[in-house]
């Protein structure tokens, strides 16, 4: 049964040291508040899975929480590089991390295979690509019908997946809309799923029947955190804070400035502070 919990409890109940965890959201609906709660609780030795590590994994890697990252684009979208992740990969600071790198197609297919209960994903990919030579989890299979050689990657099966979504109803069903990314697959592939939402509504009776709704029984815990995806965005609620992404490039460039930022905006803050960070990004009514 899904539980409505304060974010602190939802994270403490579902994430553990050494877990394989996905915080998903493809540019849109990135679960920043959940990631910051994980930083406050100081988990160690995590395997972090995410197609686009983005700011949240830059922050978690910079805090030394990751043993390994699995990803397909380790950049600050439209801005440049992720400098804490770079420091870890290039210099082993604050600790060396293992890297498992895929393409977006590889990760998307692997999540889908996880949701589908398959051991691996099969697709037409990685042809001529250097990743196949450096990632032993990229293999090939031959189609038994046509003889075509196709790429194969293992299914992704996180211990726990965190996502952010627009809203839940009182029963704990969750609506995701806009750029829906990989969230549905990431939730269904995981042993446990935790969702932060902007708000809870009485029911979903008036919704279009084909919207993406995750039934309550696919979710372990829901926490209401308005603004919880900032500086990413929530379609229908507030816009992406592109200026914050530009600013992050400077913050993350310096180890001390990064630590000071984490102290102020993560360690000494709480989930309740997110609502105030998106006020200026809400569209005028």
- 164 contributes a contact to other proteins by CB under 8 A: no
Per CB under 8 A, does 270 bind other proteins? no
282 binds other proteins (CB under 8 A): no
Looking at 105-113, 191-199, 200-208, 215-223, which segment touches other proteins (CB under 8 A)?
105-113
Size, binding site for other proteins by CB under 8 A: 73
φ and ψ at residue 133, rounded to 5 degrees: -85, -20
Q: Residue 71 gets which letter from DSSP?
A: E
Residues between 213 and 242 with contacts to other proteins, criterion CB under 8 A? 230-231, 233, 235, 239-242
Residues 79-98 that bind other proteins (CB under 8 A): 79-82, 85-86, 89-90
Among the listed residues 69, 165, 182, 221, the single contact to other proteins using CB under 8 A: 182
The yes or no reply on residue 111 touching other proteins (CB under 8 A) is yes
Q: Residues 36 to 65: which contact other proteins by CB under 8 A?
A: 51-52, 55
Q: Which residues contact 102 (CB under 8 A, 6 or more apart)?
A: 70, 71, 72, 110, 131, 135, 137, 138, 153
Q: Is 124 in the site for other proteins (CB under 8 A)?
A: yes
Cα-Cα end-to-end distance for the chain: 37
Residue pair 173/141 in contact (Cβ under 8 Å)? The answer is no
| Contact predicate 174/197, CB 8 Å | yes
Q: Which of residues 112, 169, 192, 198 is near other proteins by CB under 8 A?
A: 112
CB of 1 to other proteins, least distance (A): 27
Q: Which of 124, 129, 175 is nearest to 150 (CA)?
A: 124
For other proteins, the closer CB: 19 or 112: 112
Q: From the CB of 200, what's the least distance to other proteins, in Å?
A: 23
**Closer CB to other proteins, 139 or 171, in the complex:** 139
State the Cα–Cα distance between residues 90 and 83, nearest whole angstrom. 10
Return all residues near 97 (Cβ < 8 A) that are at least 6 apart. 61, 66, 67, 68, 69, 88, 89
Under the binding rule (CB under 8 A), the answer on residue 154 touching other proteins is no
CA torsion angle 265 219 23 72 (round to 10): -160
- For the segment 1-30, give every residue that binds other proteins (CB under 8 A): 26-28
Kindly indicate which of the ranges 12-20, 78-86, 159-167, 213-221 contains the residues binding other proteins, using the contact rule CB under 8 A: 78-86
């Amino acid at each position: 049964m899904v539980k409505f919990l304060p974010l602190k409890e939802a994270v403490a109940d579902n994430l553990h040291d050494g877990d394989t965890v996905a915080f998903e959201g493809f540019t849109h609906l990135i679960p920043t508040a959940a990631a910051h709660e994980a930083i406050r609780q100081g988990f160690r030795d995590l395997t972090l899975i995410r197609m686009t590590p983005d700011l949240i994994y830059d922050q978690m890697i910079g805090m030394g929480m990751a043993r390994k990252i699995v990803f397909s684009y380790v950049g600050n979208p439209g801005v440049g590089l992720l400098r804490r992740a770079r420091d870890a990969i290039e210099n082993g600071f604050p600790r060396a991390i293992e890297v498992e790198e895929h393409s977006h197609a590889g990760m998307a297919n692997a999540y889908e295979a996880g949701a589908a209960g398959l051991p691996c994903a099969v697709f037409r990919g990685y042809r001529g690509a250097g990743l196949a030579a450096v990632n032993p989890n990229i293999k090939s299979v031959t189609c038994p019908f046509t003889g075509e050689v196709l790429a194969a990657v293992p299914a992704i099966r996180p211990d726990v997946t965190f996502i952010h979504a627009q809203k839940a109803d009182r029963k704990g069903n969750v609506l995701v809309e806009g750029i829906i990314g990989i969230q549905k697959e990431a939730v269904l592939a995981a042993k446990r799923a935790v969702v932060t939402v902007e708000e809870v509504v009485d029911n979903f009776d008036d919704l279009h029947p084909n919207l993406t709704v995750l039934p309550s029984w696919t979710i372990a815990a829901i926490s209401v955190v308005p603004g919880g995806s900032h500086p990413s965005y929530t379609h229908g609620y507030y816009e992406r804070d592109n200026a914050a992404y530009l600013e992050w490039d400077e913050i993350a460039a310096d180890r001390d400035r990064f630590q000071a930022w984490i102290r102020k905006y993560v360690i000494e803050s709480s989930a309740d502070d997110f609502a105030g960070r998106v006020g200026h990004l809400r569209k005028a009514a």
